[in-house]
Structure 1
Amino acid sequence: MSALHTADIRQSPLGKALSMVPLRDTGDRWAGHWTSEDKDAPQTAPVVVSFRQTTQSPQVARAPLTMAKFNVHDVALPDIKLSPEREASLIAEVEAVVQNTLELRSAFAAGGRQLDTSAWKLVKTKDDVRAYRSRRALHGVDPTEGRTDSSDAHSSSSSSSSRSTMNKLTSIASSASSNDSDQFRAKKTARPPAVVLSGTVDGTAEDAVLGMLADSEQHCMMRQSYLGTELEDSRLLFVLARPTPENPFTFIGVKWGRQSYGRFSQARDFLFLEATGITKDARGEPVSYGLRQSTDLSDVLTLPRSHDVLRGHLSVVQTFANSGIPVAGTRHHSVEMFSRAFLQLDGDVPVNVAATAFADKIMALVGTMECATAYKLTWMMKQSARQARPGTSVHGSTSHCANCTRSLSRFSTLLLQRGGTCQICRRSFCGKCSVNKRISIGIGSEVMQKSMLFCLECLLEAKQVSAREVAVDQQKW
């Protein structure tokens, strides 16, 4: 019998007789509260108690329970070689998942781009984009349902035919990928959290895929610096398809990553396919996509795992299609954004917590356009540097703003906000005619971010630069 009982009277660190009420058994530690036998006494903060299978008294840890650090980059792995047939099957899996998402996207549009509030809960909004969590994630679904979440397939449209279409797509999605592992299906519990995100953002489909593309470790760090969507610790294991001048947005790779979920929850690791590219929908319109899809390579690769890490499973697809409808208050192009996500963590992470946190991560993809703009500004700076004459620093007058001609004296600069020299055209501007943007710079294996000033004219020009041209040139960076 364990030395720790349900209500064990011990001496607390304060020297008073208190009762330990366990909250959860984590193996060799119990987390709980010391509570006084006096009902009017305040409850203390949570503590962690270690115990052994002896009659000794438990020892109260002075620090919260922490997880052992496990860095996937420190793990030595053998060279991974897949047969051509296996590589083709992984690529086919990506294509099938993307196609299923396009079908869900079409059904969602047919339903008026609305979700039934009795089945979906709004958890986050940003500008014109909304993220919803399936309420069925909390109340349970049929565990025999397929890989693409059935809760992705319930539109709130008053049209019964739309609901029928979404239900039909569920069955299509469940059998779409012949390469789904039996292990993955078996692990899917009766309460999978589902997230759907939709809305309109400023930009183009090519801008979106430029912002999502991360075909190398450094590009992953670049994307993380702008979007913050990476796992805490991730590693590119191998590449199945690289960007080319003809297809500069196409990338398929296999990545391994780790993510923690709080002090008292075990971390999860994920082995997944990541892909970006541009395809066409049923109407022949271009749609850009970004995908992360758990996969199983246990027959060719054994990944070590710390004792406190569980294997998680995810399936996330983001799509962006040109809408032709200007964003409110702008004259720029806009895209319709549609994302669907499934996350299976197992273990002790509450389903609603996991789903809501996942929605936050996906919502960060609204910043994809800003990421693309930053890449374009970087490209324009490189172009400007190539064309600059040796010894040339600033063009034009430095005493007046090149746009509004206001004086750039120290006193005027303080009144009109701080201005400076545009990093592209090298002209001087006041604070009202310029803007500061965070630009990430790769230095060796590291990425640093710096605030740089650009004039409004160059910023607008950057938004019009071809994302394809930047992506082609980016392969040389």
Structure 2
Amino acid sequence: MGGKTRFVMNPFAPLELSPGDKAQLQQTANTFLAQSLHSYEIYLKVDERQVDGNRWKPLKVKDNMRLYIEREIRTTTDGNHSMMNEASEQAGTPVALLEGKMQGSLEDVVFGTVATTSEDMCFNATYVDTLSGAAVLCTVAEPTLEEPLNTVTMKWQELDLMLHSNKRDFVFLEATGFTHLANGERVGYKLMYSIGFPQTPELPSRVRGSVNVFFLYRQEHDQCVEVYASGVVAHGSSVESFLVAPSAMKFYTCTKYAHCGEMKKLTWLMHRRFATDKQRGAPIGEGNCVNCGIPISSKIFGRFGRSRDSCKLCHRLVCGTCRVKKRLNFVTLEMTFEERKTSFCPVCIKEAFEIDSQDAARAQIMSTGSQYAYHSGTDYSFASSSGVLFTERFWHDVQVSIVLGVGGLMAGAITWPVGTRLGRVVAELVVVLVALDSALGE
């Protein structure tokens, strides 16, 4: 994606909740989770994974995932007093159901759903949703080292529904984590349940909608996750009936969570490597491709160097045949989003994707600040706990590692104070070289 996309920041004053409010929200999440698990157990044991065609109308089949809409709204007067049916009746919108299988690991899927800061919400959205604004309003239950992916938060998000229409926004309770079925089998979950507060009033030029959905995930076998999701998304519109199908289609975004989790691990590993490199300097790759071992030309100018690159994790050379290009998304501290094409070697990609998602989450809990935020104007920067920004720029054979901090600017093993003329010239030269390389590589 060229240029930058800016997310809308939190439009509300800080949401301060009493311990009693938080306890009630936690109980709401627990009740909604229990009812969701009960629905899933019926689907597994009673219905034997068969969807009742008399109740559910097929809407779409895509990539081993089947989406349905309830044929009629079930009223609570029929004895259906679940939170889902109450939400459906109140919104005047039928319940949607998604079931099927997707590729990935259970841990990566849940890791891809977790976002404990506004920056993390926007980072996830760049891979999963089409949000124009997002914010964490209040943390109800912090993740722990024992359960690093179990979270309960109050959130706000905004999306552009369609052309010439007011934006929709939602205020909701979100819970993520792992739990167990009655037989002891482990499942992951994500819950979203709309709850309003006086501190989160409806906003000008926006229509307040409601979202009451759950996603349950179970590891079917290696790299295959069963998905069972259901819920109601109401956009608060007088033409709500025309929006039922588009709203239900949003359920398919859950298929992107595994990829999001992998990209989060890759980004986190880059952050960790950069934190190490800023202390000792990044090694400069020489000679042969780190993967296949073939000699690589030392020519670096013009298009002669296009067949070679360097891995942004191990910094070693990788030939054009072996290199793996990934589109990484970055959210700046100014809440803008940029997409960058980044090169890696196969060994480092494998290492990143095999990292235990919960270990990565634990490391993030122990650190401070977002692992996915960086200052604008740099290529690959991550805010460290010390406030120092480490940036690495590559131009074929030329590799320059820059540290922007209190002391000055360092390139490779040589340090120039930022205030000196030479330091400014080197920094500007790196920017020009990277721009030229990007233009030649298109």
The structure-2 alpha-carbon separation of the partners of 1:441 and 1:430, relative to structure 1 and needing over 3 Å to count, comes to same
Which residue pairs with 1:381 in the alignment?
270
Q: CA deviation at 1:350?
A: 4.5
Which residue pairs with 2:383 in the alignment?
none
Deviations 1:244-267 (A, max 9, x none): 223211221112333343345554
* Equivalent residues in 2 for 1:326-337, closer than 5 Å: 326=222, 333-337=223-227
CA contact (8 A) 1:417 1:432 kept: no
For 1:271, what is the secondary structure of its paired residue? strand
Which residue pairs with 2:211 in the alignment?
314
Q: 1:171 aligns with which of 65, 80, 83?
A: 80
TM value normalised by structure 2: 0.70
Q: CA deviation at 1:214?
A: 0.8
For 2:197, what is the secondary structure of its paired residue? coil
Deviations 1:316-339 (A, max 9, x none): 11122222x23xxxxxx3322221
CA contact (8 A) 2:307 2:320 kept: yes
Structure 2, unpaired ranges of 5+: 1-6, 372-442
Which residue pairs with 1:61 in the alignment?
none
Which residue pairs with 1:102 in the alignment?
37
CA distance in 1, matches of 2:84, 2:70: 24
The structure-2 alpha-carbon separation of the partners of 1:382 and 1:309, relative to structure 1 and needing over 3 Å to count, comes to closer
The structure-2 alpha-carbon separation of the partners of 1:407 and 1:81, relative to structure 1 and needing over 3 Å to count, comes to closer
* Equivalent residues in 2 for 1:176-191, closer than 5 Å: 187-189=90-92
Q: CA deviation at 1:145?
A: 6.1
CA distance in 1, matches of 2:77, 2:318: 59
CA contact (8 A) 1:416 1:431 kept: no
Which residue pairs with 1:366 in the alignment?
255
When Rg is computed on C-alpha atoms for both structures, the one with the higher figure is 1
TM value normalised by structure 1: 0.66
CA distance in 2, matches of 1:269, 1:386: 37
For 1:445, what is the secondary structure of its paired residue? coil
For 1:433, what is the secondary structure of its paired residue? coil
CA contact (8 A) 1:321 1:336 kept: yes
The answer to whether 1:455 aligns with 2:356 is: no
* Equivalent residues in 2 for 1:44-443, closer than 5 Å: 73=9, 75=11, 77=13, 79-110=14-45, 111-117=47-53, 119-126=56-63, 128=64, 130-134=65-69, 136=71, 140-144=72-76, 171=80, 173-174=82-83, 187-189=90-92, 192-228=93-129, 230=131, 232-263=132-163, 265-298=165-198, 301=199, 303-306=201-204, 309-323=206-220, 325-326=221-222, 333-351=223-241, 353-388=242-277, 390-397=280-287, 400-409=288-297, 418-443=307-332
**Worse overlay, 365-374 or 106-115:** 106-115
Amino acid at match of 1:257: Q
CA contact (8 A) 2:150 2:176 kept: yes
Which residue pairs with 2:436 in the alignment?
none
Amino acid at match of 2:175: A
CA distance in 2, matches of 1:341, 1:122: 15
CA distance in 2, matches of 1:406, 1:454: 17
CA distance in 1, matches of 2:89, 2:252: 29
Q: Which has the higher contact order (CA 8 A, sep 6+)?
A: 2
Amino acid at match of 2:90: K
The alignment-based identity, stated in percent, is 24
Q: CA deviation at 1:269?
A: 3.0
CA distance in 1, matches of 2:41, 2:178: 16
Which residue pairs with 2:420 in the alignment?
none
The structure-2 alpha-carbon separation of the partners of 1:357 and 1:406, relative to structure 1 and needing over 3 Å to count, comes to farther
Q: CA deviation at 1:451?
A: 1.5
CA distance in 2, matches of 1:134, 1:175: 14
CA contact (8 A) 2:309 2:343 kept: yes
Amino acid at match of 2:117: S
CA contact (8 A) 1:376 1:470 kept: yes
Amino acid at match of 2:58: K
* Equivalent residues in 2 for 1:34-45, closer than 5 Å: none
CA distance in 1, matches of 2:234, 2:180: 29
For 1:115, what is the secondary structure of its paired residue? coil
CA distance in 2, matches of 1:349, 1:185: 16
Which residue pairs with 1:469 in the alignment?
359
CA contact (8 A) 2:290 2:345 kept: no
**Worse overlay, 205-214 or 113-122:** 113-122
The structure-2 alpha-carbon separation of the partners of 1:185 and 1:228, relative to structure 1 and needing over 3 Å to count, comes to closer
The structure-2 alpha-carbon separation of the partners of 1:428 and 1:72, relative to structure 1 and needing over 3 Å to count, comes to closer
The answer to whether 1:445 aligns with 2:334 is: yes
Structure 1, unpaired ranges of 5+: 1-70, 147-169, 327-332
Deviations 1:119-170 (A, max 9, x none): 32142513x3x1413151xxx3344369xxxxxxxxxxxxxxxxxxxxxxx9
CA distance in 2, matches of 1:348, 1:199: 32
CA contact (8 A) 1:435 1:456 kept: yes
Q: CA deviation at 1:355?
A: 3.0
Q: CA deviation at 1:116?
A: 4.1
Q: CA deviation at 1:468?
A: 0.9
The structure-2 alpha-carbon separation of the partners of 1:418 and 1:241, relative to structure 1 and needing over 3 Å to count, comes to farther
For 1:432, what is the secondary structure of its paired residue? coil
CA distance in 1, matches of 2:18, 2:266: 41
CA distance in 1, matches of 2:266, 2:153: 27
CA distance in 2, matches of 1:417, 1:145: 68
The structure-2 alpha-carbon separation of the partners of 1:391 and 1:94, relative to structure 1 and needing over 3 Å to count, comes to closer
Q: CA deviation at 1:217?
A: 0.8
CA distance in 2, matches of 1:131, 1:229: 21
Q: State the superposition RMSD in angstroms.
A: 3.3
The structure-2 alpha-carbon separation of the partners of 1:246 and 1:395, relative to structure 1 and needing over 3 Å to count, comes to same
Deviations 1:148-199 (A, max 9, x none): xxxxxxxxxxxxxxxxxxxxxx9363599xxx8xxx677332xx23322223
Amino acid at match of 2:194: S
CA distance in 1, matches of 2:306, 2:12: 52
The structure-2 alpha-carbon separation of the partners of 1:418 and 1:193, relative to structure 1 and needing over 3 Å to count, comes to farther
